[in-house]
Structure 1
Amino acid sequence: MIKSYYAIIDIGSNTMRLVVYSQEKSGRLHEVENVKAVARLRNYLNEKGILNDEGITKLTATLKSFKNVTETYELDNFTVIATATIRQARNNEDIKQIVQKEIGWEMRILSEKEEAFYGYLSVVNSTSITEGITIDIGGGSTEVTYFKDRILKHYHSFPFGALTLKDFFQNNDSTEKNIMKLRGFLQEQFGRLDWLQVKGVPLIGIGGSARNLAQIDQNRKAYPLAGLHQYQMVDSDIAHITTYLASLDKVGLEKVEGLSKDRADTILPASCVFLSLYETIEAKGFILSRKGLRDGVFYEYLSPNTKTNLYPNVLEDSIVELIYEYKLDIHQIQHIQYLTERLFKGLLSKGIGSLTKEDWIHLERSCYVYNLGEYIDAESSPQHTFYLLANRTIDGLMHIDRLKLALIASYKNKTVFKQFIDPFKHWFLKKERKKLELLGSLLKFTYCLDATKRKVINHFDMEIGNEVITLTIYCNKDYKPEQYQSEKQKKHLEKNLGKNIDLIFLYRENE
């Protein structure tokens, strides 16, 4: 399969990073290279606002190193962007010329608005969040946006970042006193923007500081799922981490699990920023976006709608990606969805199984990826299905919904279901666990109705009695394999519904 490759270099105040993406048939980008260098260019910006010669040398040397990597790819698109430190440097035009002369690259210096916009764009094109506040703490600036109905409404760039806020701790006062001073400063800064006050929406963190905060929280909780994108925390989590970090010296900070060593001296001021903004907007949770500025640049470049740059349906695109990646049969999926919806609606109409319209949302998603792990190994398909879906990023799904998808789509029997859900039992009420098991057994049963993938069954009639559900199933071909599999597997659905199921198979050539 022919791949397209795209690369971006992000010149930040704290770090410089090269990321190479590949694009395959599904259309989504996959990260294939991610090279980071801790340049801390902000430290080379003198009191006159000039990036000194040492800083420029650091910049060009790092870019030359990155160039060696980019030359191994045939790139369809390549861009070099720079943010706060280069933007604020009074000699940035000279720097652009030096980069052009020594490296042969044109460096694009993003405006405050562009930097904020790309952060917003990355969030709305990689999550299903329709309203929220984004925050991206860089080394020298902090970008905040507010979007509603996925449309950007407000943005602001604060002239402080994780590196500059370190100054609050460069004195002989106690850490607690310095935190109080910093928090007071932040509250005053955030208080200047009317559109930030008491929003009651999710706060979405972008960038390295937010990523490290989430990693620390996951390690602290021994979090059982892999992946950071769309990981959710609350204010007490951030407050606990802030208190914990404040109790550590430099050596202790460098040993914190989940914290990059190069961020050990900036994570405390950054966590204060997150907590202060959380309180200002009275957030409905803190959500980590693994996608940020760099992704936003390519979302703009590749987006199908040039007017808004928005993907119409983030989750749908992610599901399509799974279908391509694991070579699933979309025609069979559509047939299974038809059978599943017919059975589900029949049960829903009679109030069987306490089913709701929201349950159909989870079940419909699971139809797309049921038994996905068969691609790896048929014998252990449920195990592979559960692991793959539970532990990979699926844009548009929060972790809890990703887990529900994995539990339903991997259903084999009660024993295996209990094995899969056991580490997460405290995530669900008992009735929620029973509901997920019911949905899984229902989906397994309808897949048995198309066991040979021939669309043998056209439709069925359903009669629900006090003790027995009778399905009269109309077939257009020999149905013995489907009959055998559904008779064999119906017991799981019977147990979860508390009713027997009688299956009557009829051959009707013209149905």
Structure 2
Amino acid sequence: MKLAAIDIGSNAVRLQITKVIEYETVITFKKLEYVRFPLRLGHDVFSEGRISEFNEERFFKLMTAYKNLIDLYEVNGYFGCATSAMRESENGREIVDKVKEKLDLDIEIISGEQEAEMINKVILQGLDDGHYIHIDVGGGSTELNIYEKHEKVFAHSFKIGSVRTLEGRDTPEAWEEMRRWVSQHAFKKGEKITAVGTGGNINKLFELSNPEKKTRKMSLNTLMRTQDVLKNLSLDDRLNKLQLNPDRADVIIPASDIYVAVMQAAKAKSIIVPDVGLKDGINYHLYQTHHPESDKVFVRN
């Protein structure tokens, strides 16, 4: 079985085509194709409230390329979803309808809650019965989920994201609301809580922290030291010395501010970085749609 996931974010648009391998009690998603294009729809939406004609044309060209790849791989199922930028765009629905009409490609504009739920499906399978706060930072929004004893007990979506913050379209009130919510729901005196971070920026921050251990975990202090290094570098240094992509070099600092703020409010001393994201959640959602009775455990490849 082959599946395709399209993740239309505020910073980048991703396509992943996956082969599903079923063996005994587990399923493994083997990546056949992965394309990430830095369209940055959030730049238009958070500044002007709508996607520009220029980026609408680029988006249509990108969807044409993705549709061709989906057809060439002859996938058994696909799911395309758009998140924060398309949700808030005045012409988001119109653009999605045009893609359906001209390319016969279905795209669903999903809520922050739906976005978090898809990621939760793969995150939960890697956690034990402890106390966790899942932080998913996107370009336009941050999704927070709190788990206790392997169950989600609280969840909230905040209009704070890496691109939105970079564009100066976040507000002090939104940051205060997020910190207050975390303090109220995540922190429990005498009880340890661990953060779980998803999103391209936390993966890059983990990589830049020079981890020595095989475990994908770093302390809050390590995260903050890595953040300080980045803040002391110019944009040119981040581009050339660290060889970050242009669409990563500018948003990684505002993204790091969000992870740090949430961890501090929750009093989390460390963060697990499992290197999974919405595309993995989409593929698992598709697998469950085709096999609703399956109880196989997801293993990422």
TM-score range, shorter chain: 0.7 to 0.9
Q: Does 1:276 align with 2:261?
A: yes
1:55, distance to aligned residue in structure 2 (A): 2.2
1:291, distance to aligned residue in structure 2 (A): 1.4
User: Secondary structure of 2:209's match?
Assistant: helix
Which amino acid letter does the alignment assign opposite residue 202 of structure 1?
T
Match of 1:232 in 2: 217
Q: Does 1:196 align with 2:182?
A: no
Q: 1:300 aligns with which of 258, 278, 285?
A: 285
1:202, distance to aligned residue in structure 2 (A): 1.3
User: Secondary structure of 1:191's match?
Assistant: helix
Distance 1:282 1:58 in 2: 43
The residue correspondences of 1:89-108 to structure 2 (distance < 5 A) are 89-108=89-108
1:71, distance to aligned residue in structure 2 (A): 2.4
- Tell whether the 8 Å contact from 2:158 to 2:174 is kept in structure 1 after alignment: no
Q: 1:280 to 1:43 in 2, by over 3 A?
A: same
User: Secondary structure of 2:268's match?
Assistant: coil
- Tell whether the 8 Å contact from 1:141 to 1:160 is kept in structure 2 after alignment: yes
- Tell whether the 8 Å contact from 1:84 to 1:140 is kept in structure 2 after alignment: yes
Higher strand share: 2
Q: 1:182 to 1:276 in 2, by over 3 A?
A: farther
Q: What are the superposed Cα offsets for residues 230-278 of structure 1, whole Å, 9 maximum, x if unpaired?
A: 5000011011011111111111111354744421001111111111111
- Tell whether the 8 Å contact from 1:183 to 1:272 is kept in structure 2 after alignment: no
Which amino acid letter does the alignment assign opposite residue 88 of structure 1?
E
Distance 2:65 2:187 in 1: 44
Which amino acid letter does the alignment assign opposite residue 275 of structure 1?
V
Q: What are the superposed Cα offsets for residues 53-79 of structure 1, whole Å, 9 maximum, x if unpaired?
A: 222112111111222322221211111
Q: 1:132 to 1:206 in 2, by over 3 A?
A: same
With a CA cutoff of 8 Å and minimum separation of 6, indicate the structure with the bigger relative contact order. Answer: 2
1:284, distance to aligned residue in structure 2 (A): 4.3
1:300, distance to aligned residue in structure 2 (A): 2.8
Q: 1:303 to 1:68 in 2, by over 3 A?
A: closer
Q: Does 1:74 align with 2:74?
A: yes
Match of 1:117 in 2: 117
Q: Which runs of 5+ in 1 are unaligned?
A: 171-180, 319-392, 395-511
User: Secondary structure of 1:289's match?
Assistant: coil
1:129, distance to aligned residue in structure 2 (A): 3.4
Distance 2:46 2:250 in 1: 21
TM-score, length-normalised on structure 2? 0.87
Specify the structure having the higher radius of gyration (Cα).
Answer: 1
- Tell whether the 8 Å contact from 1:145 to 1:154 is kept in structure 2 after alignment: yes
Q: What are the superposed Cα offsets for residues 336-373 of structure 1, whole Å, 9 maximum, x if unpaired?
A: xxxxxxxxxxxxxxxxxxxxxxxxxxxxxxxxxxxxxx
Distance 1:242 1:188 in 2: 23
Match of 2:127 in 1: 128
1:23, distance to aligned residue in structure 2 (A): 1.2
- Tell whether the 8 Å contact from 1:19 to 1:31 is kept in structure 2 after alignment: yes
Q: Does 1:44 align with 2:44?
A: yes
Q: Does 1:29 align with 2:41?
A: no
User: Secondary structure of 2:97's match?
Assistant: helix
CA-based RMSD: 2.8
- Tell whether the 8 Å contact from 1:46 to 1:52 is kept in structure 2 after alignment: no
Q: Does 1:15 align with 2:12?
A: yes
The residue correspondences of 1:329-348 to structure 2 (distance < 5 A) are none
Which amino acid letter does the alignment assign opposite residue 245 of structure 1?
L
Distance 1:247 1:184 in 2: 27
Q: 1:211 aligns with which of 177, 199, 203?
A: 203
Higher helix share: 1
- Tell whether the 8 Å contact from 2:159 to 2:174 is kept in structure 1 after alignment: no
Q: 1:163 to 1:288 in 2, by over 3 A?
A: same
User: Secondary structure of 2:160's match?
Assistant: coil
The residue correspondences of 1:275-424 to structure 2 (distance < 5 A) are 275-303=260-288, 314=297
TM-score, length-normalised on structure 1? 0.53
Paired residue total: 293
User: Secondary structure of 2:181's match?
Assistant: coil
Q: 2:247 aligns with which of 236, 253, 262?
A: 262
1:28, distance to aligned residue in structure 2 (A): 2.1
- Tell whether the 8 Å contact from 1:21 to 1:29 is kept in structure 2 after alignment: yes
Distance 2:100 2:219 in 1: 45
Match of 1:163 in 2: 163
Q: Which runs of 5+ in 2 are unaligned?
A: none
1:11, distance to aligned residue in structure 2 (A): 0.6
User: Secondary structure of 1:71's match?
Assistant: helix
1:90, distance to aligned residue in structure 2 (A): 2.3
